[in-house]
Structure 1
Amino acid sequence: MKSIPRFRGPSIVVLASVHILLFVSGLVAGSVLRHGASFITPFAPAEQVRMFFNQSPMAVRVSSFFLFGSAVPFGIYAVTTVSRLRYMGVRAAGTNITLLGGLIATIALFFSGIAGWMLSVPDVSDSIAVVKAIYFFSFLCGGVVYAIGFGLFAAGVSVTSHFTRLLPRWLTFLGIVLAITGELTWFSLIAFPANFFIPITRYVGFIWMLLAAILLTRGRKANPASAG
């Protein structure tokens, strides 16, 4: 009787935890280094936006450093999750959707972090037009693009896990809800109130991805048919 090979790959629980820790560290560090100054959105008056970056370069640089870094464990988490789903016998298009969404979200975090870092450079933050353009790019990548990518990722994992019973129904339902809120952020490009879906997708998504990682790791072993 042929033995079923053990899954070989990094722990998706650890990767999810590191991603969340790095992202939250960026928020905390940025808040502390701003010395009480309130966060400002790219929709604020141009001069206020320029002054925010001109007066808080270290806060912007450190928070962008953590945001950029958080993309690495998330990207590894995404591709490892796809690998684990295939190891567990999933042979559906959902795994490719999961991979696509994970790559979109990862690249979005990289671009958002590096664009934010650029705004910490004094020569850049002196120009109102340049600051506005780069900040909108960073905001859109870290917000809309990330949320849409994460929504696709959550949809791919949840739908395939629902049909193969790899995750409990309540968690697959939550993943589908996150997929919907993630895709609804697209409407923020024409209606500002739709930005409300971005923090829902991100912060509830943290809980979902960690729970999904734990339960997938504890799930059944490889499908014997696929292991052969």
Structure 2
Amino acid sequence: MTSTVPRETHTSTEAGSSVAVPAVVTVGLFLASLVAGLVSAGAVYTSPFVDDGDIGEFYAEHTSLVAWVGLLQFAAGLALAVCTATLVTRLRLLAPEAAARTATAFAGGLLAGAFLALNGLVQWVMAHPGVTAEPAVRRAMHYLYFGLGGFAHVAAGAVLVGAVALVARRSRLLPVWLTATGLAIAVVSLASGLTFVTEAATTLIPIGRFAALLWLVAVGFLLPRQRREVPRRV
């Protein structure tokens, strides 16, 4: 009597919708907000650390621009939330063993999207002359807007990027160079939170922001769509 040993077979499981599309939409909306500011006013915003007179002049002369930039960045925040949900759904199927880190990525991405969306809402408030006419109110709202869309958004994005990079590195879902780059971006982005205590840290905000956005686009295109399963030999 002879027995046969089943051959090793390969099956695949579809791993969710495209991650690249919402990532590209997020980047496109945010870049559109920057282009709108540069074309209309030569700047997207004024720093809260400059003279208050310059801030007041900017908002008095560009109320429509502020509203449009706020709308685009609010939409970018929503798109980032969608991108996060799509990415996390993919990771849960591709790397079910990394549930905790995937949940961490989900929390970071939702916070980053929420901070950016709230930043847009604050800009809408600041588009009303009655709000920005009062120096104390204008200054307070400007700090809030800068914090939400700046270091708060970027630092929360660090949690998303860092957690995704760790999941992908451990499960070998992405090239080593890309996961290493993601971890470096996460460190820089998280360090932007030092703006709480030093103005010098503001230089890290654009570095972390744009690097993270481009990294998410790369992940969207390179992350596998399927999980390959190899049944055990018996």
TM over 0.5: yes
Whether contact under 8 Å (1:87, 1:223) holds in the other structure is no
Question: Aligned partner of 2:135: which letter?
Answer: I
4+ residue runs over 3 A deviation: 1-5, 36-39, 222-225
- Deviations for 1:55-82, whole angstroms, at most 9, x for unmatched residues? 1111111111100011111101111111
Shift in CA distance, 219/169, structure 1 to aligned 2, threshold 3 Å? farther
Distance 1:114 1:70 in 2: 12
1 CA distance for matches of 2:37 and 2:90? 35
Specify the structure having the higher radius of gyration (Cα). 2
In structure 2, list runs of 5 or more residues that go unmatched.
1-8
Q: Report the CA distance between 1:47 and its aligned residue.
A: 2.1
Verify: 1:87 aligned to 2:98, yes or no.
Answer: no
Residue from 6, 23, 40 that aligns with 2:14: 6
Amino acid at match of 2:47: T
> TM-score, normalized by length of structure 2?
0.89
Q: Give me the whole-angstrom Cα distance separating, in 2, the residues matched to 1:149 and 1:38.
A: 22
Secondary structure of the 2:97 match is: coil
Report what 2:211 is aligned to.
204
Q: What do the CA deviations read for 1:87-138 (whole angstroms, capped 9, x no partner)?
A: 1133222101101110110110111111011111111111111111111111
Instruction: Work out whether 1:147 is the aligned partner of 2:187.
Output: no
Q: For the Cα contact (< 8 Å) 1:105–1:149, is it kept in 2? A: yes
Partner amino acid, structure 2, of 1:189: F
Q: How does 1:1-228 map to 2 (within 5 A)?
A: 4-9=12-17, 11-34=18-41, 36=42, 39-92=45-98, 93-216=100-223, 218=224, 220-221=226-227, 223=229
Structure 2 residue identity aligned to 1:53: Y
Please tell me the residue identity of whatever aligns with 1:167: L
Query: Once the 2 structures are TM-superposed, how far is the Cα of residue 153 of structure 1 from its aligned partner?
Result: 0.3
Residue type of the alignment partner of 2:61: Q
**Residue type of the alignment partner of 1:7:** A
Residue identity matched to 2:72 = F
How many residues were matched structurally? Answer: 222
SS state of the match for residue 154, structure 1? helix
Could you tell me whether the CA contact under 8 Å between 2:74 and 2:117 is conserved in 1? yes
CA distance in structure 2 between the partners assigned to 1:184 and 1:118 by the alignment: 29
Paired letter, 1:179: A
**Contact preservation (8 Å) 1:151, 1:178:** yes
Q: TM-score, normalization: structure 1?
A: 0.91
Cα distance in 2 between the residues matched to 1:15 and 1:223 = 27
Question: Greater relative contact order: 1 or 2 (C-alpha under 8 angstroms, separation 6 or more)?
Answer: 2
Q: Using a 3 Å threshold, how does the CA distance of structure 1 residues 166 and 129 change in structure 2: closer, same or farther?
A: same
